[in-house]
Structures are given as structure tokens and as C-alpha cells.
């Protein structure tokens, strides 16, 4: 027994010793020995944190001659971050403190930052005073592009790079199910995708909710351009969401899960943010070197939105936080976003595959060093400009609508869709499946009174009412389809 | 019988600890379920949201699905674990010592990458389909979607294969405490084997069966990860998770949480009434312990085959994680077509890893100690006292198992902010040591309590009383008599508690805020978001954690084996 015990302890020693022996030295200062400190709350991935953390530390050392420890706080994705900030400010309010011990919020979507700004939790950024030449007309960072704001009207947040939701697909999978490569959102509503589409969840992320809003707005704009009404366009947009959702395997709040599943061949296509799409496209290859993931920006119905940074109220290291924001907008920092690793001024370890916000980065000498040589985001508006007037008020309604109509009713929806496909898409069943009369533009297009209600009980009741109505439609559509199916009685 | 005064002191002490460190944090999050607004915008107490849950068919169905998932998973788990434990108890066969530990391995599946591992094996384009296509049993043009078809069955099977070690350990401990003389007497009196099983073995082992089953039931009733892998959203735990993380602040998910807790406590109390009573009053302590009847030949091989078979099937997700950690490319083939060690070199060399190992050992080790101390005290009151309140105490200490991780984590977070009551628990430099030890310790308490209760029900209080009447102080009696008698059970409970603390996710992600305080799970989470090979890096560190925990469990088995006879190594 003693012998065995010694053997096991020895084995444990080896197992624990392994990482000790393999440990690499890091260049960043340790928290105890650093002269300065900066606390950043961020949903950015590890690669971005690492490149920006080390680069800012080097910049700080060069400019100030002091070492800095960047204390990244990463409780999860944007949902968890929102909950952490809420908990912090609630306690701060109750105990009369100003801040929550965090300096910066770095990364997320414009809706997240706009929400925090509205609650008065962000402070004015100095960079707008020290470097006014960067902004607006004649500057390198426009105030608005493709209808998206790139900095706040009150100057409390500013975008550092841009991102765009698009479609990623697996060419092998599409070949197997006999579908052409998708080029727009409409393609994802094709019945051939049934059971193999990966969708992002609009109820947990502001950026995803915005993407669904854009998708509907694109249909409205198209309808108007073709001489139709925006009301019909709205209905068509809602129906497109129904078809895409009926094809979906799931709705997820994990951004990398979608390209991962597509690249692995567990899903044919999905809704995917550009940099994950590009990153997986570059890294996941087949045996003969072909990409397993292809990312495209759908024609129409998507914008380039800003990925911001902001300084939080009561930041313990206010001065350094303001310097970090300035640093993010320098050419040196901007190059990190899209240069190949190891190129001059580029990231050290990994390509980040993101589009910098400064226009002056898109010049041949720099583009030659990047992972996206042909990128000219500011030259091509993608024939779509977001019009806040058109759908801005349905941001909340639409999210709730997707929840009751598609996510909560997914089981009934999928089985109806399956029956309709098997019966050869009969028009009468499709009409019931696609009945959106209870959420027409007239009722919900300016924000549904029930879904938008501040009273949670009213909201819950309206959600239940709509949910039961949609599920009733789906069950009926299934029955009609099954009856008209000659093969299956 | 236990001294009533002492029983009250312990009960009140435990209730106080529970009220402060469990009911307060969980309650302050869940209380939103009962807060409505009146006409003037003020807050009022209301049951409207509880009513809203019951009136909505989607939530009713979600609750029903969760309940069915719990019941069926528990039955299936029992069906796997009981035969294993019984075979190990009755017979001595080739490789038994090793196999007995091997079958425990499936419970240590690393977080985050476990799901990816399952998909790599069972996905449409996964290893299993690739194998079927290779051997000509499936058409490559129409692969079967294992995860989407027959989801309920899939989830139940996955739950059972993940959770059977909990039940196996508890039943094995119960059988180890069983006096072989009872079975032998039945045999000598001509009782046929099956009748002996139902009349003698099963009733005597009931405390262990109940202990394990109640843990497995509550676990699978509130399981979140497995339904998510199967993309099954209409089940209460997933509905809660989705609701809590949603952008709007509707109280319905909290109402659903409150209902889930009440149902868990009710089912537990009912089941206890039916099957949780101590068997046959006071059984004598076994004098000798046999290692079982030696069997060789094909019978021995069949026994070994049973163990090996269960292990191999249960370890499919683990194999997925291991292969993933070694894969340069793994796409539509049975095993990766190119292997590499580079993910290990990069993952284990990462600066986060060494401190995270140290942190996890500290957090999980201290938490286990805490839950063993509280667990023994609680079990003592439950089994050895005649306090009326003891059933309620028993149900209460089971609740941490049923509370969603996010609810507890955000409760702790809110209470530990500067100026709030738990702020004193935040150590120098923002160390979450105390917070995590309490959070882990309380959430893992049910494992220790159940194991200790089962042990005490089987051990004979006459021995404790004899020690006392011979002049032993209570401490000496505990140290020399009572604790050694339930050592097998305590070892089982502590091993489960430690392993699950090491793998804890929600509290670790939310409460360990600074990199130098990360436990291993958060280090895995950080690596996961590396661009390029994040999944493989996370898998590599996950494999490290699996290997470490396996060897640690083996060590515990060697230590505990001699006294408790749980593992008989």
C-alpha cells in the first residue's frame, strides 16, 4: 500500500510538474510588480486581448517609461458582461460610490454601448478633444457609415473596428444536399436547408437583434424599390425569419459555435460575424487544402457596424483609460486588427481578421501586409444603408417576436415545415404557416404595445397569446400538409 | 440516540450558514419572481409570475420534460450502476481492481469541450458516421443525424452514461457495509439467488441506492449542458438559462427557477418517505469482508467485459476530447488524419495554467473539507437525532444541487460588491478564495451529506454507544469508531465533491475576476476563445484536468480502500 501510494504521488507530481516545466515566459508585467494598472471588461477573444494588452504595455513603457499590468475581466459574453455591470452599478448606487472598479468597456455591439450610455454609465472621451482631426467630415473615422453610428453623439464611446454579420457555409455539406452557395439572406430560407442551419440568438445579443432588424428592413426597402409597400415588405421579412428559423438546428449566443459547427460539417450554413468567419475560413482546411468554411457578406440586408470602446464612470485609473482609447485609434494599434502575424507592426501570434475603423489604413502598402488584401470597406456600401426611421422602434418588439414565433415555438414550427416540404410545398398549408396577420406592420411595425410594455405581466401575457396563436397555425399547417400529401396519409 | 441539545446546536448552526451563504444569495436573485409593480410604479409582492408560468403551455411542457428527463435518466442510471456494483460485490474476477476505478472515469468530463467532443463523435459528419460509412453500413450521401433524431432518448442515455458513477459509488459503499453473514444465512436456508437479492441485498443496500438516485435525479432534472448539446430548448433548465441571459428583464425565468426548486424538494421528500428509511433497524457491523467469490474462465471474462463495455461506451465523449486535443485536422474521418502535440505545448505552456492549477487545488480542496465537516454534522442530525425538523433540514441541504449555476453566481456577485454584506469575503488584491470555497462547498454539499447519511444508516449506533460507555470522549469516539465506520461513504462523497468542484463553471467564470485567481475551468474557457486552435487548446488543458483527476481519484481509492473497502484496491 505504501509503495502504491508513493507511485501515485509520484505520478501526480509528474502531471503537475509538466505545465511547470513547459511554462513560457510572458512579457507582460505581473500584477504585483507593475507601476500602473488598467482594468478592462471585455467580451473580446483571448487573441485580441493578448495582442492589445501586450501592445499597449509596450506603448506605455515607451511613452511613460512605466510598466503596466492590464487586468482583463472576462465573465463571459455580452450577456454576462451586462449582468456584471448591472450588479456593480446597482451596488454602487446603493452605497454611494461612483464606479464599479473597472476602467474600460472594450468590445461588444453598438446597441450594448448605446444602452450603457443611456444609463449614464460612460464618461466623455478625451480623444475627441485631443485629436478632433480624426473624426467626422474630412477625418478618418466617419460619424455614420451604412447608416451605423461609429461614435456616440455625446462622444462617450467610439468604434475601434467594424464588423458585419454574414453567412458562413460549408461547401462539402452544400454539395451533399445539392444546394448552390448562398448569396443573400433569402437563400437561407430555402427548404433544402431544413435541419442544417445554425442561427444566432437575437434575444441575448443586441448585435444579433440588430441583424434580424436589418434583414426585415432590407425586405421593406426592396419592396418599396419594386413599387410595393413597406407593409408588404415587413410581412415578407417576418416570413423570411420564419423560413430561416424553421430550417435552424438551434439559436445560440455563442458566436464561435456557428462557424465551428459549419466547419466541422455539423451544419450546412449559418449566420456568422465576419471575423470568426474569416478566421475559421483561414484555419479549417480539408485534406487537399480547400477551405471548409466560406464566409460571405449577403447582398443587401447587412451593415458595417462599429465595435466600440468606452470609459466607465468612476474609473479608478481614469487617465490611463483615456490614454488606452487614444491608443486604440492610433495607426499602430489599428494595424493589429488585420495584419498578418509577424509582419512589421502586426500582431505577434495570431491574425485577428478584423476591419480597422480608420479609413487611412486601407492603402496598398498596409493592405499588402494583411490577411484581407482586397478589403475596401469604405468603397463599397454593399447597396444597403440602414434607415433608423424605418425599423428603429421595433428593435425590442422584433426580438420578442422571434422568441415567441420561432424560438419558443420551434418544435411545432419545425414539424410543420417538415410536413410542408414532404408534401411538396402545398400553397394552402404554406399560407397558414406564413400567416403573420397578428403582427402586421400596422400592429407591430412601430413597436408592439404588449411586447414592448414596461409591465412584465402585460408582456408575458402578450407573449403567451402570440405564442399560442403561432403554434396553433403551425399545427394546422402541418395537418393540412399531411392531408394533401399523397405519400403519407 | 444523539444528545438533543447538541442536535439543536448543529441544526441551528447549519441553518444559519445555509441561510447566509445559500438562501441569501440565491434568494436575492430569485425574489425577482415575486416582485410586481403596482399602479404607482412601486414594488409589490405577487404570485402573478408563478401563475404566468403555469398558464403558459410552453413552460408547463418544459417542466414536464424536465421531470421526465429526471425520472427516466435516474432509472436508466440505476439500470447501469446496480449490476456493476453487485457484480463487483459478489465476484472477484480478472482485472477487477483496475476496472473498478476505470468505470468512475466518465464523471470527469471537462467543461466546454465535452460538448465539442460529443459532436466530433456523434455529429452528422462525426467519427461514428465516418466509421459506419467506411464499413459500408451507411450511405455517405445521407448520413444519420444522431443528435437531432430521437433527442429525448439521446439525452437520457447521455445523462445515464455521465452520471452512473455517482450511483455506482454510493451503491458500492452500501454493499461494502453489508454483513456477508446475512446473505450467507439466506443462502444456507435455501433461498434462491434472485429472491435473496430482493429480500436481503436490495433492502440492505437501499440507503446507498436512495443516496445515489436522489443525487442523479436532481442532477438530471436540472441538467443544462446535455440538452444544449442536443439542441433541445423546451425543457425548464434551458428555458431558465435562455431567460436569465436574455436582454429584457422579465421575471418569468426566476419564477420558473423557484418552481424547479420546489419540485426538486418535493420529489426528494416524497422519494425519501417511500424508500429512504434505514433498513432493518440496526444491522451488525460485518466482521469479515470477503472480496467476493473468485470466478475464472468465461464467467470471469464476462464480468470484466461488462465493466469494460460500460467504460468504453461511457467514455465516447472523452475519447472525442482526447482525439480533438491531438488533432491537426479531424474532419469527416474516424480519427484525425493528422496528429500533433503542438496544442499541448501551447496550452500547457500558457502563463494562466500553472497558477490556475494551484488555485483550483486550493479552492476545491478547501471546499471539499468544508463540505465534509458540514456534511458529517448534518448527516448526524438527520440519522441520529429525533428532531422533527430533520426531514426539512435534509431537503434543504439538497437544494444547492438544483439551483442554476448562474443564479448562485450572480447572487454571490451582487452580495460581494463593495459596501455589501459579503464584501469582507473578498481577499487582498480581490482574491475570490473565500467566495469560491463557500460557493463550491455549499453547491457540492449534497454529495457528502447523502453519502454520510447512507453510511450512518448502515452503521450500528450500538458501537458508538459502547465506545462512550467505555469512557471515550465524544471526539475520540468519532475519530476511532464512528468516522472509520462510514469512511467508505465519506470517501465516495468527498471524491464526488472534489471532482465536481474542480470542474465547476458558473461561479468560476463570474467570481474569479482577475487572471491570477482563475481556476482551471476559467483557464480552459480563456484558451477556448483563442483564434485558430482555441477548441484544441481547451481540449488539451481539459485532457490534462481529466488525467489529473483520474490519478487523484486513484490515490483517494488507495487511501480510502484500506479502511472503507469502497474500492478494495
**Residue among B414, B529, B555 whose CB faces A46 most closely:** B529
Per-residue pLDDT of chain B in tens (569 residues, 90 and over written 9): 667 888 889 889 989 998 999 999 999 999 989 988 777 777 889 999 999 999 999 999 999 999 999 999 999 999 999 999 999 888 888 888 888 888 888 888 888 888 889 999 999 999 999 999 999 999 988 899 888 887 899 999 999 999 999 999 889 888 887 777 888 888 888 888 888 888 888 888 888 899 899 999 999 999 999 999 899 999 999 999 999 988 877 899 999 999 999 999 999 998 888 776 655 555 555 555 556 788 888 989 999 999 999 999 999 999 999 999 999 999 989 999 889 999 999 999 998 999 999 999 999 999 999 999 999 999 989 988 888 888 889 899 999 999 998 899 999 999 999 888 999 999 888 899 999 999 999 999 999 999 898 888 878 788 888 888 888 887 888 888 888 888 878 888 898 899 999 999 999 999 999 999 999 999 999 999 999 899 999 999 999 999 999 888 877 777 665 444 444 43
CB contact under 8 A, B419 and A206: no
Please report the residues numbered 67 through 106 in chain A whose beta carbons come closer than 8 angstroms to any beta carbon of chain B.
Answer: 71-76, 79-80, 82-84, 87-88, 90-92, 94-97, 100-101
- Minimal CA separation from A130 to chain B, in Å: 32
What is the phi/psi pair of residue A253, to 5°? Answer: -100, 5
Give the global pTM.
Answer: 0.92
CB contact under 8 A, A4 and B569: yes
Give B177's contacts (C-beta < 8 A, 6+ positions apart). B286, B455, B458, B459, B488, B489
| Residue B105 cell numbers, joined | 472515469
Residues of A whose CB is below 8 A from B152 = none
Q: What is the residue-wise DSSP string for B32-60?
A: GGGEEE-TTS-EEE--HHHHHHHH-HHHH
Residues of B whose CB is below 8 A from A196 = 124
Helices (H), A160-306: 171-177, 206-225, 230-247, 257-264, 274-283
Residue A475, chain B, CB below 8 Å: the answer is: no
Please report the residues numbered 429 through 448 in chain A whose beta carbons come closer than 8 angstroms to any beta carbon of chain B.
Answer: none
Task: Please count the residue pairs, one from chain A and one from chain B, whose beta carbons lie less than 8 angstroms apart.
Answer: 213
Please report the pLDDT score of residue A488 as a whole number.
56
CB contact under 8 A, A24 and B351: yes
Give A212's contacts (C-beta < 8 A, 6+ positions apart). A202, A241, A398, A399, A402
Residues of A whose CB is below 8 A from B119 = 261, 264, 266
Residue A66 · residue A81 · CB < 8 Å: no
Please report the pLDDT score of residue B287 as a whole number.
52
What is the phi/psi pair of residue A25, to 5°? Answer: -80, 135
Residue A208 · residue A198 · CB < 8 Å: no
Chain A's closest residue to B120, CA to CA, is A264
Chain B's closest residue to A397, CA to CA, is B248
Residue A251 · residue B242 · CB < 8 Å: no
- Closest to A276 measured CA to CA, from A263, A285, A287, A265: A263
What is the phi/psi pair of residue A250, to 5°? Answer: -160, 170
Alpha-carbon distance values, B160 to A65, B76, B86, B108, B277 (Å) = 59, 6, 18, 14, 25
Give the model confidence (pLDDT) of A106-123 as tens digits: 999 999 999 999 999 999
CA angle A2, B498, B555 (to 5 degrees): 15
**Residue among B141, B250, B562 whose CB faces A459 most closely:** B250
Quick one: average pLDDT of A51-68?
96
- What is this model's ipTM? 0.92
Give the model confidence (pLDDT) of A2-51 as tens digits: 777 788 889 989 999 999 898 887 666 678 889 999 999 999 999 999 99
Residue A456, chain B, CB below 8 Å: the answer is: yes
Residues of B whose CB is below 8 A from A353 = 531
Q: Is A339 helix (H, G, I), strand (E, B) or coil?
A: strand
- Minimal CA separation from A353 to chain B, in Å: 9
Chain A's closest residue to B39, CA to CA, is A455
Please report the pLDDT score of residue A302 as a whole number.
86
Please report the residues numbered 296 through 335 in chain A whose beta carbons come closer than 8 angstroms to any beta carbon of chain B.
Answer: none
Burial of A323 (0-12, 13-18, 19+ CB in 10 A): buried
- Minimal CA separation from B142 to chain A, in Å: 8
**Residue among B55, B123, B554 whose CB faces A264 most closely:** B123
Residues of B whose CB is below 8 A from A209 = 247
Spatial distance between the Cα atoms of B548 and B554, rounded to a whole number of angstroms? 10
Quick one: average pLDDT of A425-442?
96
Quick one: average pLDDT of A286-304?
91
Query: Mean pLDDT across chain A, nearest whole number?
Result: 93
pLDDT more than 90, % of chain A: 81
CB contact under 8 A, B231 and A249: yes
Residue A415, chain B, CB below 8 Å: the answer is: no
Spatial distance between the Cα atoms of A421 and A425, rounded to a whole number of angstroms? 5
Residues of A whose CB is below 8 A from B547 = 15
What is the phi/psi pair of residue B350, to 5°? Answer: -60, 140
- Minimal CA separation from B119 to chain A, in Å: 8
Q: CB neighbours (10 Å) of residue A16? A: 16
Give the model confidence (pLDDT) of A447-468 as tens digits: 899 998 888 889 999 999 999 9
Alpha-carbon distance values, B101 to A167, A220, B111, B553 (Å) = 47, 63, 21, 8
Probe site for chain A from B29, B342, B502, B531 (most A CB atoms < 10 A):
B531
Please report the pLDDT score of residue B115 as a whole number.
87
Amino acid at each position: 500500500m505504501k509503495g502504491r501510494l508513493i507511485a501515485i504521488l509520484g505520478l501526480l507530481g509528474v502531471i503537475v510538474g509538466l505545465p511547470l516545466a513547459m511554462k513560457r515566459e510572458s512579457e507582460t508585467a505581473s500584477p504585483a510588480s507593475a507601476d500602473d494598472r488598467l482594468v478592462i471588461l471585455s467580451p473580446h477573444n483571448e487573441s485580441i486581448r493578448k495582442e492589445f494588452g501586450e501592445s499597449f504595455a509596450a506603448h506605455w513603457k515607451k511613452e511613460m517609461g512605466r510598466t503596466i499590468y492590464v487586468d482583463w475581466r472576462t465573465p463571459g459574453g455580452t450577456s454576462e458582461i451586462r449582468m456584471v455591470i448591472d450588479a456593480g452599478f446597482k451596488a454602487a448606487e446603493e452605497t454611494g460610490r461612483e464606479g464599479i472598479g473597472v476602467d474600460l468597456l472594450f468590445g461588444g455591439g453598438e446597441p450594448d454601448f448605446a444602452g450603457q450610455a443611456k444609463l449614464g454609465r460612460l464618461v466623455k472621451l478625451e480623444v475627441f478633444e485631443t485629436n478632433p482631426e480624426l473624426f467626422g467630415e474630412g477625418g478618418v473615422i466617419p460619424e455614420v457609415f451604412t447608416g451605423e453610428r461609429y461614435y456616440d453623439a455625446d462622444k462617450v464611446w467610439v468604434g475601434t473596428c467594424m464588423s458585419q454579420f454574414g453567412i458562413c457555409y460549408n461547401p462539402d455539406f452544400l454539395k451533399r444536399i445539392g444546394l448552390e452557395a448562398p448569396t443573400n439572406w433569402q437563400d437561407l430560407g430555402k427548404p433544402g436547408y431544413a435541419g442544417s442551419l445554425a442561427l444566432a440568438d437575437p434575444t441575448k445579443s443586441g448585435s444579433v437583434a440588430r441583424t434580424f432588424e436589418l434583414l426585415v428592413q432590407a425586405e421593406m426597402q426592396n419592396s418599396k424599390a419594386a413599387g410595393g409597400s413597406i407593409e408588404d415588405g415587413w410581412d415578407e421579412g417576418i416570413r423570411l425569419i420564419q423560413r430561416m428559423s424553421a430550417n435552424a438546428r438551434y439559436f445560440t449566443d455563442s458566436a464561435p459555435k456557428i462557424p465551428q459547427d459549419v466547419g466541422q460539417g455539423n451544419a450546412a450554413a449559418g449566420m456568422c460575424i465576419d471575423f470568426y468567419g474569416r478566421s475559421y475560413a483561414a484555419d479549417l482546411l480539408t485534406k487537399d487544402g480547400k477551405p471548409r468554411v466560406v464566409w460571405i457578406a449577403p447582398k443587401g440586408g447587412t451593415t458595417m457596424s462599429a465595435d466600440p470602446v468606452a470609459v466607465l464612470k468612476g474609473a479608478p485609473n481614469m487617465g490611463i483609460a483615456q490614454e488606452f482609447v487614444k491608443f486604440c485609434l492610433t495607426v499602430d494599434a489599428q494595424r493589429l486588427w488585420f495584419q498578418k502575424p509577424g509582419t512589421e507592426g502586426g500582431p505577434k501570434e495570431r491574425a485577428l481578421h478584423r476591419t480597422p475603423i480608420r479609413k487611412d489604413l486601407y492603402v496598398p502598402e498596409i493592405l499588402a501586409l494583411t490577411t484581407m488584401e482586397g478589403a475596401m470597406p469604405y468603397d463599397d456600401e454593399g447597396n444597403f444603408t440602414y434607415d433608423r426611421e424605418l425599423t428603429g422602434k421595433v428593435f425590442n418588439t422584433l426580438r420578442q417576436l422571434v422568441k415567441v414565433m420561432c424560438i419558443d415555438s420551434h418544435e411545432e414550427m419545425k414539424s410543420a415545415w417538415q410536413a410542408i416540404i414532404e408534401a411538396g410545398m402545398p400553397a394552402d398549408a404554406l399560407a397558414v404557416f406564413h400567416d403573420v396577420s397578428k403582427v402586421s406592420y400596422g400592429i407591430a411595425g412601430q413597436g408592439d404595445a404588449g411586447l414592448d410594455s414596461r409591465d412584465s405581466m402585460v408582456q408575458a401575457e402578450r407573449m403567451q397569446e402570440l405564442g399560442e396563436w403561432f403554434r396553433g397555425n403551425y399545427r394546422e399547417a402541418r395537418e393540412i400538409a399531411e392531408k394533401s400529401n399523397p405519400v403519407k396519409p | 440516540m444523539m444528545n438533543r441539545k447538541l442536535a439543536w446546536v448543529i441544526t441551528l448552526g447549519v441553518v444559519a450558514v445555509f441561510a447566509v451563504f445559500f438562501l441569501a444569495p440565491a434568494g436575492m436573485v430569485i425574489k425577482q419572481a415575486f416582485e410586481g409593480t403596482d399602479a404607482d410604479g412601486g414594488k409589490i409582492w405577487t404570485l402573478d409570475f408563478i401563475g404566468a408560468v403555469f398558464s403558459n403551455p410552453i413552460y408547463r411542457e418544459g417542466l414536464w420534460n424536465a421531470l421526465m428527463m429526471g425520472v427516466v435518466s435516474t432509472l436508466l442510471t440505476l439500470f447501469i450502476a446496480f449490476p456493476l456494483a453487485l457484480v463487483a460485490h459478489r465476484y472477484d474476477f480478472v482485472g477487477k481492481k483496475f476496472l473498478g476505478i476505470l468505470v468512475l472515469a466518465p464523471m470527469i468530463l471537462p467543461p466546454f469541450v465535452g460538448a465539442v467532443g460529443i459532436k466530433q463523435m456523434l455529429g452528422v459528419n462525426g467519427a461514428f458516421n465516418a466509421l459506419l460509412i467506411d464499413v459500408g453500413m451507411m450511405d455517405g450521401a445521407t448520413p444519420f443525424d444522431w443528435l437531432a433524431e430521437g433527442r429525448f432518448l439521446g439525452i437520457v442515455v447521455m445523462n445515464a452514461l455521465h452520471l452512473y458513477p455517482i450511483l455506482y459509488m454510493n451503491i458500492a459503499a452500501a454493499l461494502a457495509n453489508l454483513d456477508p453473514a446475512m446473505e450467507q444465512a439466506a443462502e444456507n436456508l435455501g433461498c434462491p439467488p434472485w429472491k435473496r437479492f430482493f429480500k436481503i441485498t436490495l433492502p440492505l443496500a437501499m440507503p446507498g441506492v436512495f443516496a445515489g438516485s436522489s443525487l442523479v435525479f436532481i442532477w438530471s432534472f436540472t441538467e443544462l449542458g446535455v440538452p444544449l448539446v442536443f439542441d433541445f430548448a423546451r425543457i425548464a433548465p434551458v428555458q431558465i438559462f435562455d431567460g436569465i441571459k436574455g436582454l429584457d428583464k422579465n421575471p418569468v425565468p426566476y419564477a420558473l427557477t423557484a418552481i424547479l426548486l420546489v419540485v426538486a424538494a418535493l420529489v426528494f421528500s416524497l422519494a425519501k418517505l417511500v424508500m429512504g428509511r434505514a433498513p432493518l433497524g440496526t444491522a451488525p457491523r460485518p466482521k469479515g469482508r470477503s472480496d467476493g467469490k473468485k470466478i475464472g474462465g468465461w464467467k470471469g471474462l464476462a464480468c470484466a467485459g461488462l465493466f469494460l463495455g460500460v467504460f468504453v461506451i461511457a467514455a465516447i465523449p472523452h475519447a472525442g476530447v482526447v482525439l480533438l486535443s491531438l488533432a491537426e485536422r479531424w474532419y469527416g474521418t474516424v480519427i484525425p488524419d493528422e496528429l500533433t502535440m503542438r496544442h499541448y505545448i501551447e496550452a500547457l505552456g500558457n502563463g494562466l495554467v500553472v497558477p490556475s492549477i494551484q488555485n483550483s487545488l486550493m479552492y476545491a480542496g478547501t471546499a471539499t473539507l468544508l463540505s465534509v465537516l458540514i456534511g458529517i454534522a448534518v448527516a448526524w442530525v438527520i440519522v441520529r437525532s429525533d428532531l422533527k425538523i430533520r426531514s426539512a433540514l435534509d431537503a434543504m441541504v439538497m437544494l444547492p444541487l438544483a439551483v442554476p449555476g448562474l443564479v448562485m453566481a450572480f447572487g454571490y456577485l451582487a452580495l460581494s460588491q463593495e459596501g455589501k454584506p459579503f464584501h469582507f469575503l473578498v481577499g487582498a488584491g480581490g482574491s475570490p478564495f473565500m467566495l469560491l470555497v463557500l460557493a463550491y462547498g455549499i453547491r457540492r454539499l449534497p454529495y457528502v451529506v447523502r453519502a454520510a447519511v447512507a453510511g450512518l444508516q448502515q452503521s450500528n449506533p450500538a458501537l458508538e454507544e459502547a465506545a462512550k460507555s467505555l469512557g471515550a470522549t465524544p471526539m475520540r469516539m468519532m475519530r476511532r469508531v464512528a468516522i472509520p465506520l462510514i469512511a467508505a461513504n465519506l470517501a465516495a462523497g468527498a471524491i464526488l465533491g472534489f471532482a465536481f468542484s474542480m470542474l465547476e463553471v458558473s461561479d468560476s467564470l463570474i467570481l474569479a475576476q482577475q487572471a491570477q485567481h482563475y481556476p482551471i475551468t476559467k483557464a480552459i474557457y480563456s484558451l477556448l476563445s483563442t483564434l485558430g486552435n482555441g477548441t484544441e487548446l481547451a481540449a488539451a488543458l481539459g485532457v490534462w484536468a481529466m488525467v489529473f483527476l483520474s490519478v487523484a481519484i486513484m490515490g483517494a481509492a488507495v487511501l480510502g480502500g484500506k479502511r472503507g473497502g469502497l474500492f478494495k484496491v
